[in-house]
Amino acid sequence: MNWGHSSKPSPGRSSDQPPNPADSAGDVTGDVTGELKVQIRWLIRRDMPEVLAIEQSSFQQPWTEEDFLGFLRQRNCIGMVAEHNQQIVGFMIYELHKARLQLLNFATGVEFRKLGVGQQMLNKLADKLSQQRRQEILLEVRESNLQAQLFFKAQGFQAVRVMRAHYDDTTEDAYVMRFRIYETAADTVAFQPHNRIAFYDDAA
């Protein structure tokens, strides 16, 4: 599964490019055909060739190795991989902030999509939240990338803000999506009169 990102990332900011139309959307709809059990662990340097292969097969404008290393050299940036039978089948890159986790990059290998790999990675990330410290996960997704929106919605994320004309290459908006360990009625109702995301329920 992938939702896209910028072609030239800069520390502290994540954005997306639409996925290649030829790509399978992976775990996007939550239609898991048979869960593949994976081990999720820290990304290490020797994983980079396999991570880059997944990246290049998932995005029209993939990150380079130097892009990955530029983020991972930051003290608050973490990389993790999903491994099955000693093969890397997915990865995620995220930042640690005082009260949240910011998901920057997320993908599974083409041949391992719709097997629950993405769901397991997000579950691992959600396990890092606590009521005492970091309480939410945030990400940005393009308005046109409905498949990614539906995937994250199925995992408990909600669209909470529209970022107008967010991208350098287009006037397209971005949705900020959020997962919280607990969500109050005030968190969701306050946004409803002002958003353009009502099609979620119709499309689901």
pLDDT in tens, 1-57: 545 554 445 433 333 333 332 233 334 333 455 689 999 999 999 999 999 999 999
CA distance linking residue 9 with residue 31, whole number of Å: 31
Q: Pick from 110, 122, 116: which is nearest to 54 by CA?
A: 110
The dotted CATH code for 39-203 is 3.40.630.30
Q: Pick from 158, 119, 111, 164: which is nearest to 138 by CA?
A: 158
Digit-coded pLDDT (tens) for 174-195: 899 999 987 655 555 444 434 4
Single pTM value for the model: 0.76
Residue 188 to residues 50, 192, 198, Cα–Cα distance (Å): 39, 7, 12
CA distance linking residue 95 with residue 83, whole number of Å: 21
Residues 6 or more apart from 34 whose CB is under 8 A from it? 115, 116
